[in-house]
């Protein structure tokens, strides 16, 4: 049986861990050649090696997509190596929540840089190649899948800048969807609730305690749950565009 994404090339940011890692592995299972991008060189190479051992095709490109030139260089390298780009998954993320008085501007800047600017820089660089793929590829469609959050739908005390960054991702994705849908370039946003990733451990100590209390008794999602949604979007036939997916743990009622 032919894999649904055979002959496609997928670029995944934040691929060293969590949702990005799971998404890259899942897309490789579907037959895509995956390009794994992340700041932690050793970690991205480990994931690429895992894809290869499992019979897939992978290329690791260590890079910081919060730097516009670096993001553009990544896209350029992908196209020079593979000759095309069909799918982009923006999964790089930063979550540094906590009391706004105690928070530093560096923490706030980091969330905006990673969540908003990183997504923006990758999309800007990838657009011409994605549109070319949508026009010329056998699938007759290309995809950008942005990982937002339920925090991009509902604001919460202590989460102001993370809320702002994820609301921005959700809004930009919808605007791009309207702009490029008639050219067969689909933009989709996935908004997960609590996912068991290392992001929770990056927050201020008091914020971690508050989050632990808030999510007490909640069985968090696994990164693979979000990767399944990524695969569902990317393998959908051209006629079907999945604009938005919200995924919460069954126990999460907020």
> What domains appear along the chain, each with residue ranges and CATH number?
9-241 (3.40.50.720)
**Region 195-220: what's the mean pLDDT?**
79
pLDDT computed for residue 137 by the predictor:
86
Yes or no: say if 45 and 63 are a contact pair by the CB < 8 Å rule. no
- Mean pLDDT, the chain, integer: 95
Indicate which residues carry an active-site annotation: 162
- pLDDT at residue 2, as a whole number: 55
Task: Evaluate whether 203 touches 98 at the Cβ level (below 8 Å).
Answer: yes
Distance CA 93, CA 166 (A): 10
Q: Can you tell me the distance from the alpha carbon of 18 to that of 198, in angstroms, rounded to the nearest whole number? A: 7
Question: Quick one: pLDDT at residue 251?
Answer: 93
Angle, helices 18-29 vs 223-234, to 10°: value is 40
- Nearest by Cα to 170 from 198, 148, 154: 148
The residue count for the chain: 254
- pLDDT tens by residue, 64-78: 999 999 999 999 999
Task: State how far the Cα of 188 lies from the Cα of 144, in Å rounded to an integer.
Answer: 6
Average pLDDT over residues 132-151: 96
Which pLDDT score is estimated for 22?
A: 98
Could you give the residue ranges of the DSSP H alpha helices within the chain? 18-29, 41-53, 68-82, 105-111, 119-136, 160-180, 205-214, 223-234
How high is the pLDDT of residue 203? 67
């Amino acid at each position: 049986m032919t894999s649904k994404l055979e002959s496609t090339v997928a670029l995944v940011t934040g691929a060293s861990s969590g949702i990005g890692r799971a998404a890259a592995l899942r897309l490789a299972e579907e037959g895509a050649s995956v390009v794994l991008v992340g700041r932690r060189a050793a970690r991205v190479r480990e994931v690429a090696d895992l894809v290869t051992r499992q019979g897939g095709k992978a290329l690791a490109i260590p890079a910081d997509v919060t730097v516009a030139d670096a993001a553009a260089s990544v896209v350029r390298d992908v196209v020079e190596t593979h000759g095309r780009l069909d799918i982009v998954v923006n999964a790089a993320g930063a979550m540094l929540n906590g009391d706004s008085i105690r928070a530093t501007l560096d923490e706030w800047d980091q969330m905006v840089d990673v969540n908003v600017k990183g997504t923006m820089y990758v999309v800007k660089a990838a657009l011409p190649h994605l549109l070319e793929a949508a026009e010329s590829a056998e699938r007759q469609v290309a995809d950008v899948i942005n990982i937002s959050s339920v925090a991009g739908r509902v604001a919460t005390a202590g989460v102001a800048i993370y809320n702002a960054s994820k609301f921005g991702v959700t809004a930009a994705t919808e605007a791009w969807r309207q702009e490029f849908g008639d050219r067969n370039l689909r933009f989709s946003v996935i908004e997960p609730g609590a996912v068991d990733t290392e992001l929770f451990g990056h927050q201020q100590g008091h914020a971690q305690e508050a989050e632990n209390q808030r999510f007490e008794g909640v069985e968090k999602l696994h990164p693979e749950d979000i990767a399944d949604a990524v695969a569902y979007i990317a393998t959908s036939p051209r006629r079907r565009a999945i604009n938005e997916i919200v995924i919460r743990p069954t126990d999460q009622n907020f």
